[in-house]
Structure 1
Amino acid sequence: MNHVQKIALRPLPGSKSTELLRNPDRGFRLEIALDVGRNYNSHVPEVSGTTAFLQKHYEDYKGDCPMLAQTYFYLSAYENKDLDDIAFDTMQIFLDELRQMGMRALLRFAYQMGYYGPECADRDQMLRHMEQLAPFIRKNKDVIHVYQAGFIGSWGEWHSSKYEFDRKEMLESILRMVPEELQVQVRLPEYKGLLGNDHPQYKRVGFHDDFIAIKPNSGDGGLIPGSAQYAQFCEESPFLLIDGELPWGEWSFGDGWYIDPYGTIMRLAEHHYTSLSLIHNNREEYYRQGDDDGKYSMEYWKEIGIDPSWLQLNRLPYADAWFLDEHGNEIRRTTFDYIRDHLGYYLQAGRLEIGMLREKQLASLTLELRNYGFAAPHGLESAAFVWIDQQGNEIQASSAGDPRHWHPHEPGDAKRSLLAHVVQASLPLPEHAGVYRLGLKIGNSAGHSVRIANDIPFVQGVNVLTEVEWQA
C-alpha cells in the first residue's frame, strides 16, 4: 500500500436535520383512502378525483416531508363482481402520481369502511380479486414500500368482519399475490402465527400496529407489554418493516386521554418502527367532528422538549450533533422532532480510510457507519462507493455491502449498545490522472437515494466523502 489517507467526516448539525427528511422508505407517512369504483376519498367523500386528496394532503403536511403514503384502495363497489377497467385505471392513475412525487405506498386493499361495514366480498370473490390484482401489484412494485394484508374486516384490519374466513388460507393467498421481494404486514402477531414459524414465507411477514395508545385500551388488540404478542413483536421486529399509527385524535380527545410522547418513543424504538402516521392525533382538519377544536397529542409533542440525559437514561440512540447548530451551540429539540428524525434509519459516517494500492490499481476503502435510527434500513437494497469525475460522471463503482444489515444495535441487546459498522471495499482506480470525488451511494429499487447525516455535499444522489487527486 503506497499511501493511506485518514479522514474524520463532519457530522450533520441538528439545525440541518430536516435536510434528511426526503430520504426514502422511512419516516412519517400520509394516509389516503380511495374508493376505486366510485372515485372519491373514502374517509372524506366530499373530496372527489383520483389524486386530489393526495395532493391536498401532501401540501398540508409537506413541512414534515412525508415520503410514504398509506394507500387504501377500497373495493367496496365490487363486493359481488370482478374488478373492471375503471378500478384498474383509477388505481394506476393514483400510483403514477405517487411515483411522480417520489413517494412510495404502504398498499392495502379493503372493502369495509367502519365497524361491520355492509360492503364486503365473500371468500370466492375475494380470492378472485387477489388473482386479478397480482399482475397489477407486480407491475407497480417499484412504488410499493410494503404491502399490508388488508381485505378482511373493518379497514382491512382483520377484525369486525361481515363474514368469517379461514385466515391462514387468506394470508397464504395474499403472500402468493404479492411479489416475494416485498414484505407483507399484518395487524397483529397472532395472525402471523397462523402460518407457523417453519412456514417458508414466515420471515416475509411484518406488522402494522393501528392503535398505538401506550396505555392498555380495548382497541390495541391485546398488544401490550407482558403479552406473548408483545414479546413476539420485540423478537421479530428488528428484521422487518414496521408501521403504525395512533388512534384518531377525535376518539382519544373525546375520551379525555392524551398519548404520552416519551412512552411512544420507547415503544417505537423497542419495536423498530420504520414509519408512523403523520395524520392520526395531529391536526386532523378533514376528520374533526362537531365542536372538537382541542389540540391533539402530536400537537403537544411539538412543544414538549427532549434532552440527551433522558435518551441516555433510556438507552435510546442519538448523534451528539443532533442537539447542536452549525456553530456548535446547543439547540432545543422536541419529542416530535426526535420521532420524526429517528423513525427508520439515521445513518452517519465517522472515520474514512483510503489506501492506494498502485500495483493493483485499487483503492482500499474503509468507512465507519453508525445508525442512530430505530430500525435497520430494510426498504433499501444497495450501497456502493463510486468515483465521480469533474463532469459529474460516475466512472467506477464497488459494492459497500447490504444496508439492510445496518442495525442500530445488535438485535436482542437489552442495553441497545450502538453498533459501529465497518464498511470495506476495493474500488478500481481511475484510468486517467485528475481530481476525483469519492462518493457513497445508497438507494432503493426505485432509484431513490439516501443522504447520510454528515455535513458534506450531496450531489445527484451521491454523498461526496472527499476529493482525491490521482496521478496515474
Structure 2
Amino acid sequence: MNTGNFIARLLCMAVLFIRLLTGGADYLKLVNEYPLGCYRPAPACYRVRLDNSIPLSSLDDRLLDNRDRGFRTEVYLTLGSGKGYPASGSTAYDTLRGQVGLYGEDRFRVIQTYIYLIEYVDRPLDALAFSQLTDYLAYIDSLGYQCLLRFAYEYDASAGIGPATDRIVAHAAQLKGWFTQNLALVNRVVFAVQLGMIGLWGEGHTSVYPHDAGIVTAAVADMVPENIYLMCRHPRLLPDIGTPYYGRYGLHDDFLVGISHPWGMLDFDHPQYKRMLNRCNYFINDGEMPWGSDNTVEAIDPVLFLRQCVGYSLTTLSITHNYKENAGANHELNQYKSVKLSKSLLLREKFPFNPRFLDENGEISVFTYLQYHLGYLLCASNMKYKNGKLEFMLTNFGMAAPFEYELVVYGDGTPYPTAFDPLDLIKFSQQKYCVAIGEHRRVGIALVHRRSGQTIKLANDIPYENGINWIV
C-alpha cells in the first residue's frame, strides 16, 4: 500500500472516531453513505523552487493545443434520423459546425458528444446506426478534436418514452462490439466516456422506468475498453458500481454554481465532502455551469465557482453553457474575462497557478485562468546533465493529473522509456526523475498518450518538435 494513502486511511479513522463520540449513529450513517475511499489529499502548495535551467515560458497559446484537457463544447447525434438534438430540425453535422464556428476562437480541444438512442428504444441498433456513429466520430477526429462520449435516450420529461433496463443492456452489448471493431478510431478520438444511459440527458434522474443502476454501470463499464476512464453524475451512483469497475469511474457535476445545491453533487457540509474531493484528484472529472438563461441561482460568484473547479480537479469544463449561447447576452463565463485574480488571492485560495502567466499587474482573468489551468499544465525545471545521467523535475500547475500519459526521454533520436505514474502529478505536485541516457548532443522529454499517441507541450520556452520538448 502507498505510504501516503495508508496515512490518509489512519487519519480518516481518527476523524471518524472523534465524530462518532460527538455525533452518534446519524453521523455514522452519513460518513458511510458513499464508498469514496480514503485517498491521499493533494499538496496545498509547491515545495521546491523552480530554477531556470530549462527556460520557463510565459503565457503561450500553443499550450491550448494540448489534448485531453481544457474547455469543451457540446454536440449531439440522434442515431437513426441523423439529427443533432432529438427535438431539433438540424443535422448532427450542422450542430457540430455551429459549435466549432461559435467557440473555435476559444481553442477548445474536447467535445462532449451525446449519442441519442431514443429512436431505437424498442429495437436493436442496426447497420445504419453503427455507420452514423462511426462516420460522426471519424469526422470529429478529422477536425482534430476529441470526444467526451455519452450515450442517452430521454430528452423530454413529458414524452413518456424511455428504455427498460434490459434494452440498455442489450444496446450496451451491441456497442461493445462496435468499440472493439473500431478500436483504433476510439483510441484516437474518445477522451473518456460518461455513464449516461439513465434518465433525462443521461444524467441519471427523471427516467420513465426505474432502473437497476448496478446492472447499468456494469454494462457500460463492460461496453467501454477497460483502459478508458469513465464518469458518473453523482456519488450516489458509486455504491452500485461493482468492485471490478469502481476504479474507472470519476465524476461529472453538471450544475456548478459555487455553492451547495441539490442539483450539484454533495453539500459542502456533508461529512464525506472532503473525501470526495480527495478522490477527485485520482480520476478524470468534468463539469458545467447551468445554462445562461437558467435563473435558479441568480449570480455565480467567480471565486466560489473556481473553488469547485479546483476542488473537483476538473480536467474539462463546458463553454457551451453560460457563455455565448444567447446572442448578445453577457453570461457568466464572458463576464469572467474581465474579473481579475491577484497573486495574493490565488495563494490565499490555494488555487494552483503558473506565476509566469500573470500579467504586468500580477493578475490573470478568471477566464484565462480556466483556459490554461483546467487539467494538466506541466513545466520542466531543475535539470542536471552530467556523466550521462539526466536529472530534472516536472511541476504540475494545473488542476488535474496528466491521465494516461507516459514519459519518454530522448537522447538525440534514441528513446529511453522512463518510470512514470501520472498520479504522481496531481495538482500542486512536483516529481523528480533521474535517467541514465549516456552522452548526447540533444536531450528531450516526450509525454505520450498511451492510446492516442498525442504528446504534451511543456510550459517551457524551448523547441517542441515532433512531440518532443528539447531541453538540451
Taking structure 2 as the reference length, the TM-score comes to 0.84
Residue in 2 aligned with 1:59?
A: 101
- 2:147 partner letter: A
Answer yes or no: is the 8 Å Cα contact 2:78–2:86 preserved in 1: no
Comparing 232-241 with 275-284, greater Cα deviation is found at 232-241
SS at match of 1:354: strand
| Structure 1 residues 215-260: Cα deviation after superposition (integer angstroms, max 9, x where no partner) | 333422x5220125634421311110000110111113xx571211
Cα distance between partner residues in 2 of 1:114 and 1:248: 17
What is the alpha-carbon distance in structure 2 between the residues aligned to residue 256 and residue 171 of structure 1?
31
Q: Residue 458 of structure 1 aligns with which residue?
A: 464
Structure 2 residue matching 1:249: 3-state secondary structure: coil
Aligned to 1:424: 434
Contact kept, 8 Å, 1:216 with 1:224, in 2: the verdict is yes
Sequence identity percentage: 26
The answer on 1:10 being equivalent to 2:52 is: no
Deviations 1:345-404 (A, max 9, x none): 110111111122xxxxxx2111111101111111x321111133xxxxxx2111233251
1:172-208 alpha-carbon deviations (Å, 9 max, x no partner): 1111111110111100011012236xx1221111101
CA drift at 1:429: 4.5
| Cα distance in structure 2, aligned partners of 1:51 and 1:441 | 35
Q: CA deviation at 1:158?
A: 0.6
> Residues 176 and 300 (structure 1 numbering): CA distance in 2 closer, same or farther, change over 3 Å?
same
| Match of residue 367 from structure 1 | 392
DSSP 3-state at the match of 2:455 = coil
How many angstroms apart in 2 are the aligned matches of 1:7 and 1:283? Answer: 40
2:84 aligned residue: 41
Contact 2:292 2:322 in 1 (8 A): yes
Q: Which secondary structure does the structure 1 equivalent of 2:442 belong to?
A: strand
Aligned pair count reads 417
Whole-angstrom distance in 2 between the partners of 1:452 and 1:298: 26
Shift of 1:448: 1.3
Which AA in structure 2 matches 1:184? L
**Aligned partner of 1:238 among 263, 281, 298:** 281
- Deviation string, structure 1 residues 398-446 (Cα, Å, up to 9, x no partner): 123325124245xxxxxxxx4331012122546xxxxx32111112121
Counterpart among 211, 221, 240 of residue 255 in structure 2: 211
| 1: CA distance, partners of 2:130 / 2:436 | 47
Aligned match of 1:359 = none
CA distance in 1, matches of 2:228, 2:258: 29
> What is the alpha-carbon distance in structure 2 between the residues aligned to residue 176 and residue 281 of structure 1?
34
Question: Contact between 1:106 and 1:147, CA under 8 Å: does it hold in 2?
Answer: yes
Tell me the equivalent position of 1:337.
368
Structure 2 equivalent of residue 317 of structure 1: 352
- Give me the whole-angstrom Cα distance separating, in 2, the residues matched to 1:211 and 1:159: 14
3-state SS, counterpart of residue 338 of structure 1 = helix
Displacement of 1:7 in angstroms is 6.9
2:216 counterpart letter in structure 1: M
Question: Which amino acid letter does the alignment assign opposite residue 63 of structure 1?
Answer: E
Taking a change above 3 Å as real, the CA distance of residues 401 and 63 of structure 1, as seen in their structure-2 partners, is farther
Q: Please give the per-residue CA displacement for 1:270-291, whole angstroms capped at 9, x wherever unaligned.
A: 1111011011001104xx7xxx
SS in 2 for 1:306: strand
Select the residue among 218, 221, 239 that pairs with 1:193. 239
User: What are the ranges of 5 or more consecutive residues in structure 2 without an aligned counterpart?
Assistant: 1-50
What TM-score, normalized by structure 1, do the two folds share?
0.84
Give 1:119 shift: 3.0
Q: How does 1:194-343 map to 2 (within 5 A)?
A: 194-195=240-241, 199-220=243-264, 222-228=265-271, 230-252=273-295, 255=296, 257-285=298-326, 294-324=329-359, 329-330=360-361, 332-343=363-374
Matching of residue 386 in structure 1 with residue 430 in structure 2: no
SS state of the match for residue 462, structure 2? coil
1:32-57 deviations in Å (ceiling 9; x for gaps)? 11111111110772322x43322331
Measure, in 2, the Cα distance between the counterparts of 1:294 and 1:51: 25
Give how far 1:10 is off: 1.5
Q: Secondary structure at the match of 2:369?
A: helix
Paired letter, 1:208: H
In 2, the alpha carbon distance for the partners of 1:217 and 1:43 equals 29
Say if 1:117 and 1:154, in contact at 8 Å, map to a contact too: no
Query: Separation in 1 of the partners of 2:444 and 2:457?
Result: 11
* 1:118 and 2:160 matched: yes
- Asked if the contact 2:118/2:154 (under 8 Å) is kept, the reply is yes
Letter paired with 2:204: W
**1:256–1:375 Cα change, 3 Å:** closer
Change (3 A) 1:296 1:83: same
Residue 446 of structure 1 corresponds to 452
TM-aligned CA deviation for residue 117 of structure 1? 4.4
Q: Please tell me whether the aligned partners of residues 283 and 299 of structure 1 are also in contact (alpha carbons under 8 angstroms).
A: yes
Does 2:456 correspond to 1:399?
A: no
Q: Is the 8 A contact 1:116 1:161 kept in 2?
A: no
Mapped contact 1:371–1:406 kept (Cα < 8 A): no
Amino acid at match of 1:454: N
CA distance in 2, matches of 1:304, 1:239: 30
Structure 1 residues 173, 396: closer, same or farther in 2, change over 3 A? same
- Secondary structure of 2:128's partner? helix
Residue 27 of structure 1 is matched in structure 2 by: 70
